[in-house]
A and B are shown apart, each in its own frame.
Chain A
Amino acid sequence: MACACSALYFLNLKGDILIQRTYRDDVERNLAPAFRSHILHTKGNDSVANLTPVRVLGSCSFLYMRQSDVYILAVVKSNSNAMLAFQFMVQTVNVFKSYFGGEFSEQSLKSNFVLIYELLDEILDFGYPQVADSSILKQYIFQKGFVTEATKLKREQEAANSTLQVTGAVGWRKDSIRYKKNEVFLDIIETVNMLMSNKGSVLRCDVNGKVVMKVFLSGMPDVKLGLNDKLEDVTFHQCVNLGKFNTEKVVSFVPPDGEFELMKYRCQDNIVLPFRILPIINEIGRTRLEVNVTAKSSFDSKLFALNVVISVPMPDNTAQAEIQTTQGKAKYDPKKHALVWKLKRFVGQSEHAMAATVELIATTREKKPWARPPIGMQFQVPMFSASGLRVQYLKVWEKSNYKVEKWVRKVSKSGDYSTRI
């Protein structure tokens, strides 16, 4: 089950090494050229190369993922747990982000070489993942190079404690935390995926949700969270008492300090779809298209959606389009081969339409029939939960019984939200 990662590479999009660390000598020193020539620059279908995150070349397995403009590549020799390797890479990115102030890019890697080497030494040992939690790492790997004697002494103590803490019963929290103002923030973030046929029937639909918390509480508080729903497919942060959840359906935990992801869930039933798209596209002759797209919002009229983007794919030989909309702006974007209709604000229980006349240029070659890819949509609906998840209560209990301010937010975002045409 071990990861046993022989080497870790960070490469830019061209395949040049940004930073590299070898953990075992069972692989050759420089594998980046192989990765570049066999994986990044494979001719033909780019998407295929991207779709296979694990490739075996020779005796090594290359596990890689792309994060903004950086490829992270783990080279393993033994039969490793691929999921663990990817989870580790994701976690590494998170650690780096928290160190670099939320940014992870080629530039940020280049300007933090020393720090990264320090981190790389710490998070993996002989290829086995160690501490990959930024809050713990920050206790002994510091962002700023120079520190005063006093803080140094304090930090040394903390660092000494940190081993104790990692091995203790509540490994994720120190007990000496004090805040003047005790606050808890809870965000429910849901991603809605949907595929609808052009007749309006839903072919596939699911919601991926997560509960993210930001905790500023003193001492060792016990938190209880009551949810309305029977959830499917839930995974919890390690702080949650699973026994209690199984018996009482109450999420009970001692929270780590600061921001963390409390739980993830997925559901496929009883989903409220925020939008419906009704497209009508007629091909008139070989060189004209009539496009009518109507979008309907079905959430409560008191709510509204933000940053709605509907992109209606067009054939490759589209020359120009005349577009009228009831709200928002729309234009033809040749880079995406689509009509892109943007609405800043979309009120609930309302309906907007776009009508376009599209002119196509005649092609000399035998025209391939248009593949009619689906209409895609992006949106954000604050205070709306597509799965219908509600927080019934959020209780904090601590020895000193201080007053706690609690904030709960919800937002539903689009995932892969598409309608066939």
Chain B
Amino acid sequence: MAKLQNMRGLQNFISDIRACANKEHEKTRVDKELGKIRKKFASGGNISEYDKKKYVWKLLYIFMLGYDVEFGHKQAADLIPATKYAEKQVGYMACAILLNEKDEFLRLIINSIRNDLISKNEAFQCLALGFVGNVGGQEMASLLAVDVMNLLTNGAVRAIVRKKAALCLLRLLRKAGPEADILQADTWSVKMANLLEERDPGVLLAIVTLLLGIVSRSYEGYEGLLPKLVAILDRLKKREVQPDYTYYGIASPWLQVKCLRVLQYFPITDDPALLNILLEILRKIITGTEVAKNINKNNANHAIVFEAIALALALEADTELLTASVGLLGKFISVREPNIKYLGLENMVRLAEVPAVNDAIVRHQKSIVASLKDTDVSIRRRALDLLFTMCNRNNARDIIHELLEYLEIADFSLREELVLKTAVLAERFFPDLHWYVDVMLTLIDRAGEFASKDIWHSTVQIISNNEDLHEYGARKVYEALQRGSVHEALVCTAGYVLGDYGNTMKGVPPSELFALLQERFPSMPPHAKGILLSAYLKLCLMAPQDIQLKEQVMEVLSRYARFMDADLQQRAVEYMGLVMHPDVAKRNVASKPPWEKRGSLLLRRLMHRAGGEEPDEQEHKPVWMQDENGDAVESPTAVQFAPPQAVPTSPSANGHADDDLLGEEAAANGDLPPASIPQPVDPLADLYGLQTGPAPAQALPAGPADPFSVSGDPYALTGGQSGADLRPSGDTEEWFRRLCASSNGVLYEDSCLQIGVRSEGFRGPSGQLLLFFGNKADAFLERLLCVVPPTPQFQFQLGAVPARLEPKKQIQVPLMVACVSTFLDAPRLQISYTLASGQQCNQSLRLPLTVNKFCRAPENAIPADMFFTRWRTLAGPPQKVGERITRTLQLSKPAVEKLILDMGLGPQPGLDPSPDNLVAAATFCFAPPGQQPQQVACMVRIEIERTRRLEAQVTVATPDVNVTASLKNLLVQLITKL
């Protein structure tokens, strides 16, 4: 640096810049200087090393001021081989600052760096190591790692160089990627063992840091180092270090922390002697630490203690040690200092998962509860976590009581989580059902809008599943209503419970219940109104002799018979019919059947929030086995019992009511397996289904698992004979996938018949499919039938198909298609024919009318800001859904890009900041009959995992739930099989 004083030009320049009054002056001064430097550099070879150094310093200064420096890298690199330290120094510094590890330019200087590494001058070695440690990338890792290792293991080299070498090697190790094995465990572990003998704590710290980097990948092969690490710790605890390395009387706390952390990566050692020494050290740390006055000393001590506790947990240490840890943390929690409190709580959460120390933690319950009222929100959150984790059967009553108390004062950001956790605890540990119902109703009452649907759903579920709760629940709800609760969740609960069990309460006439509910009716949202209407009907049927109630109910119903919400209107009309015919109603309106045993809704919800973490108890794992159609079948009001005059719609209301509880769950949960998504979630889908299909309430095909099974197919044209011995000669799914991304190809083929498809004029709401039927056999194909079953989402017009097809002849059948609404599944084509030999073929084929066929790619590139604004407005499921794909073969970006293009989506290169990712946009078009065509903007993002390229994440965002789900499923299917 001494030379720097002599560089007048640089000094003048810097003082000029500092003297500038404003940004414009500075810019002109910088421009002038850049012009001068360009002129000097362009003039070629006649520029002295001194000038070069000076100008590179200036460039660095300009770069640091925030201006772009687009030249001079070569001159900076030229300075690296220089012989003078000052020139070499600026060369390295400029390259480190101006270039990044991916720069092509670095290749040119690798050789000079290597020369410095193997030179005898340790100043040069340090510069080179520092440079590689800061910008070294994959290429340097493979070329320079050996030299760096030599420096590290060479005992003759000074400590400072070895320290740098260790850290440089760590960087190279991290950059090299897992597959480039620059450190072989078998040879390197021996060297590491030698290195750990090092006495200089500074070098040792660097080496242990390197070791930490190594074992965080894999500890295999390094187990032999355990005794060495324990020895180091032991030495440190006995304070056998130079006074330079003691910090407030603690021997190198950094080294202690690193050692403790490295030890956490190893499995528990099977050498009992070693384990004993280690545990003894831990015991000393945990029991021997006292709170000191000096804050720095405290910080150092705490860092060691926390690592020690983590290690004790990892070693599954005895209860005594852990109890001591709990005692120590308990002290931390009760102090006022927020940082210590936070750390205490956080570590306590980890300990709370060990059942043995639970009792010890419970002793601190008071101070933990007090932390709930801390001013710092992060501490409150930790305290809530801890209470949730430490709760058990014994203290559940107290803790839940505390949480309910706290709920009234908790701030809004915490409430949703608090409500959910309280509900889960109540569900998990409830001592008796009455208490549980009390807690849940209090929650719903107090938490207002923060109580998610699941909470009142599960309350209703519990009440209706336990007969002895019917009256109790109804009375509680009734009392809550009398107290004046108005919240939607409570009113919905009340609607269900009072509707079904209102008559179990003695002395409360249904008319009073009706009055209580009706008071809240006007302010409710439509779906709650629907529930209340059902409740009214049931109340009315409870008291058939109460004429006045009947009149009141009829009045409400007749008002809603002309309501604009189709669902409410339909309910009102149907219920009016049922009220008029009590005998019919009695047969059809029954109370809810008990729920099937299944997993807790709440836990699923909590897991969803926590990002899919496994719950700690096996029995709480979510099991989602119910499907909605199954429920409808079990409902006592299934369609076949419905009398004709009551219209087939009466069961649907109950079926729909069930959907309220069950169906939305399916829609909200984005990570269901794709196979179970495509069932319609539209509450009225089953009604519309009546007009199109034969029996909607019947089980639909058993799902895509076996799409070709004839017997399970409701549309099968010839039932009975299942001896279909004509099988497709290839994979129909594979043909279908190919057709998704191309306009023509084979749809189906067997030994006699081949069906080809060509699609024309899509990329909008309508188009035409040309179906080519070719008879490959030498015989006639008899009774050829080709039907497209109508679906509400499409309009079809199929050309005439002759009943018999001559041998070796091909016919062409046009199929006009118009998309009427968004859809989840591609429509199907039913094919059947018979051969003269009696062989028969029945096939149900998916038509390649996938969502992308109706998509139009944008003509121009979409501006990035527009795309991202839209992307962000679609916050999450069900509009924005992602899925991870795991493949066995590597995935290349061009292949995916081609697929996207073939599918007709518009890739948007350059939109995503990462070049490995792919972003596409398109517009899905459909035309409802008699209306203007409508469009749905679709956005797709595909992220390919960078290193191994075996995984990819597909995310689809559209404003429409159906389009999102179907496009995502399609992409996942196609990319998985790409």
Binding site for B on A (CB under 8 A): 13-14, 46, 316-320, 332-337, 359-365, 367
Which of chain A's residues have a CB closer than 8 A to the CB of B245?
none
A-B contact sample (12 more), CB < 8 A, given A316-B70, A320-B42: A13-B21, A13-B22, A14-B21, A46-B24, A317-B38, A318-B38, A320-B39, A334-B32, A334-B34, A335-B32, A361-B41, A363-B71
**Interface membership of B594, Cβ < 8 A:** no
CB within 8 Å of A: which B40-66 residues: 41-43
What is the minimal beta-carbon distance from B51 to any residue of chain A, in angstroms?
Answer: 15
Which residue of A is nearest B28, CB measured?
A335
Shortest CB–CB separation between residue B629 and chain A, in angstroms? 57
Which A residues are CB-close (under 8 A) to B41?
Answer: 319, 361
Interface check B105, CB cutoff 8 A: yes
Whether A334 contacts B23 in the complex (CB less than 8 A), given A316-B70, A361-B41, A363-B70, comes out as: no
With most chain A CB atoms within 10 A of its CB, the pick from B22, B28, B31, B71 is: B71
Complex interface: chain B residues within 8 A of A318 (CB) = 35, 38
Q: Does B174 contact A (CB under 8 A)?
A: no
- Complex contacts, B22 vs chain A, CB 8 Å: 13-14
Known A-B contacts A320-B42, A334-B31, A337-B31; the reply to A362 vs B36 at CB < 8 A is no
Assuming the contacts A46-B23, A334-B31, A334-B32, asked whether A319 and B42 have C-beta atoms less than 8 A apart, the reply is yes
> Are the CB atoms of A364 and B71 closer together than 8 Å?
yes
Q: Name 11 interchain pairs, CB-CB below 8 A, sorted by A.
A: A13-B21, A14-B21, A319-B41, A319-B43, A320-B39, A333-B35, A334-B32, A337-B31, A360-B42, A362-B71, A364-B105
List chain B residues, Cβ under 8 A from A335: 28, 31-32, 35
**Chain B residues with CB below 8 A from A334, complex form:** 31-32, 34-36, 38
Whether a CB of chain A sits under 8 angstroms from the CB of B73 is yes
Closest to A334 in B: B35
B74 sits at the interface (CB 8 A): yes
A365 touches which of B31, B38, B70 (Cβ 8 Å): B70
Residue of A nearest to B31 (CB): A335
Quick one: closest B residue to A333, CB to CB? B35
By a CB distance below 8 angstroms, the chain A residues around B70 are: 316-317, 363-365, 367
Chain A residues near B32 (CB, 8 Å)? 334-335
Indicate which residue in A333, A336, A359 contacts B42 across the interface (CB closer than 8 Å).
A359
Give Cα A316–Cα B34 distance, bound, in whole angstroms: 9
B71 touches A361 (CB 8 A): yes
CB distance from B694 to the nearest CB of A (A): 65
With A334-B31, A335-B32 given, is the CB distance from A319 to B73 under 8 Å? no
Alpha-carbon distance between A365 and B63 when the two chains are bound, in angstroms: 14
Task: Let me know if B71 and A317 touch, CB within 8 A.
Answer: yes
CB distance from B45 to the nearest CB of A (A): 14
- A-B interface pairs (CB < 8 A), number: 52
Shortest beta-carbon contacts, A-B, top 6: A334-B35, A319-B42, A319-B38, A364-B73, A363-B70, A335-B28
Cβ of B899 to closest chain A Cβ, rounded Å? 29
Residue from B31, B35, B42, B73 whose CB has the most chain A CB atoms within 10 Å: B35
Determine whether the beta carbon of A364 is less than 8 Å from that of B74. Answer: yes
Residue of A nearest to B35 (CB): A334
Across the interface, which residues of B come within 8 angstroms of A317, CB to CB?
38, 70-71
Contact B23 A332 (CB under 8 A): no
Complex Cα–Cα for A318 and B39 (A)? 8
User: Which of B22, B36, B38, B105 has the largest count of A CB atoms less than 10 A from its CB?
Assistant: B38
CB A105 to nearest CB in B, in angstroms, measures 13
Shortest CB-to-CB span from A15 to chain B, Å, is: 10
A335 to B27 Cα, complex, angstroms: 8
How far apart are B308's CB and chain A's nearest CB, in angstroms?
Answer: 46
Of A332, A335, A359, chain B has the most CB atoms within 10 Å of the CB of A335
Per the bound structure, the CA–CA distance linking A14 and B26 in Å amounts to 13
Min CB gap B55→A, angstroms: 12
CA distance A46 to B22 in the complex (A): 12
* B42 and A361 contacting across the interface, CB-CB below 8 Å: yes
A360 to B74, CA, bound (A): 15
Tell me the complex Cα distance, A159–B31, Å: 55
Nearest residue, chain A, Cβ from B77: A364
Chain B interface, DSSP helix/strand/loop, else mixed: helix
Q: How far is the CA of A362 from the CA of B71 in the complex (A)?
A: 7
B9 to chain A, nearest CB (A): 16
The chain A residue sitting closest to B73, CB to CB, is A364
* Residues from chain B with Cβ under 8 Å of A364 in the complex: 70-71, 73-74, 105
Taking the closest CB of chain B, its distance from the CB of A21, in whole angstroms, is 25
On whether the beta carbons of B35 and A332 are closer than 8 Å, the reply is yes
**How far apart are the CA atoms of A335 and B38 in the complex, in Å?**
13
Docked Cα-Cα span, A360 to B35, in Å, equals 11
Cα-based distance from A319 to B42 in the complex (angstroms): 6
B residues less than 8 Å from A365 (CB atoms): 70
Q: List the A side residues contacting B28 at CB < 8 Å.
A: 335
The closest CB in chain B to the CB of A12 belongs to B21
CA distance A240 to B490 in the complex (A): 79
A333 to B38, CA, bound (A): 12
Which A residues are CB-close (under 8 A) to B74? 362, 364
Return chain A residues, CB-CB under 8 Å to B35: 318, 332-335
- A contact residues around B105 at 8 Å (CB): 364
Point out the residues of chain B lying under 8 angstroms from A46, CB to CB: 23-24
Residues of A within 8 A of B71 (CB): 317, 361-364
**Chain A residues within an 8 Å CB radius of B36:** 334
**CB nearest neighbor in A for B66:** A43
Residue of B nearest to A364 (CB): B73
Closest to A319 in B: B42
- Smallest beta-carbon distance A373→chain B, Å: 15
When C-beta atoms are compared, the residue in chain B nearest to A362 turns out to be B71
- B73 surroundings in chain A (CB, below 8 A): 364
B22: min CB distance to chain A, Å:
5
- Kindly name the residue among A333, A334, A337, A367 whose own CB sees the greatest number of chain B CB atoms within 10 A: A334
* Complex: chain B residue closest to A316, CB-CB: B70
Cβ contacts under 8 Å, A332 to chain B: 35
> What is the CA–CA distance of A332 and B41 in the complex, to the nearest angstrom?
16
Nearest Cβ on chain A to B754's Cβ, whole angstroms: 52
CB distance from A316 to the nearest CB of B (A): 7
Looking at A333, A360, A361, A365, the one whose CB has the most chain B CB atoms below 10 A away is: A361
Tell me the complex Cα distance, A337–B105, Å.
Answer: 27
Q: Within the complex, what minimum Cβ distance (angstroms) separates B879 from chain A? A: 33
Chain B positions within 8 Å of A360 at CB level: 42
Residue of A nearest to B76 (CB): A364
Cα A182 to Cα B22 with chains together (Å): 49
Among residues of B, the one whose C-beta sits closest to the C-beta of A43 is B66
Instruction: Say yes or no: A361 contacts B31, CB within 8 Å.
Output: no
Q: Cα distance A150–B31 when bound, in Å?
A: 60
CA distance A365 to B71 in the complex (A): 8
**Please, how many angstroms separate the alpha-carbon atoms of A367 and B31 in the complex?**
18
| Complex-state Cα separation, A13 to B32, whole angstroms | 22
A336, A362, A364: which has the most chain B beta carbons within 10 Å?
A: A364
Is A361 a contact partner of B38 (Cβ separation < 8 A)?
A: yes
Q: Which of B727-771 contact A (CB under 8 A)?
A: none
Expressed in whole angstroms, the Cα–Cα distance for A319 and B39 within the complex equals 4
Considering only residues 919-958 of chain B, those with a C-beta below 8 Å from chain A are: none
Q: How far is the CA of A316 from the CA of B71 in the complex (A)?
A: 11
Would you call A320 and B43 a contact (CB within 8 A)?
yes
For the complex formed, measure the closest distance between the CB of B124 and the CB atoms of chain A, giving whole angstroms. 25
Q: Which residues of A contact B21 (CB under 8 A)?
A: 13-14
In the assembled complex, the CB of B706 is this many whole angstroms from the nearest CB of chain A, namely 55
B residues near A367, Cβ cutoff 8 Å: 70
Residues of chain B contacted by A336 (CB below 8 angstroms): 31
- In the complex, which residue of chain B has the Cβ closest to the Cβ of A365? B70
Task: Name the distance in Å between B801's Cβ and chain A's nearest Cβ.
Answer: 59
- Determine how close the nearest CB of chain B comes to the CB of A12; give it in whole angstroms: 9
Bound together, the chains give a CA A14 to CA B32 distance in angstroms of 22
Q: In the bound complex, what is the Cα–Cα distance between A317 and B31 (angstroms)?
A: 11
Query: Which residues of A are found within 8 Å of B34, using beta-carbon distances?
Result: 334
Q: For chain B, residues 76 to 100, give those with C-beta under 8 angstroms from any C-beta of chain A.
A: none
In the bound complex, residues from chain A placing their C-beta under 8 Å from that of B23 are 46
Chain B residues closer than 8 Å to A361, beta-carbon distance: 38, 41-42, 71
CB of B30, distance to nearest CB on chain A (Å): 9
**CB of A35, distance to nearest CB on chain B (Å):** 15
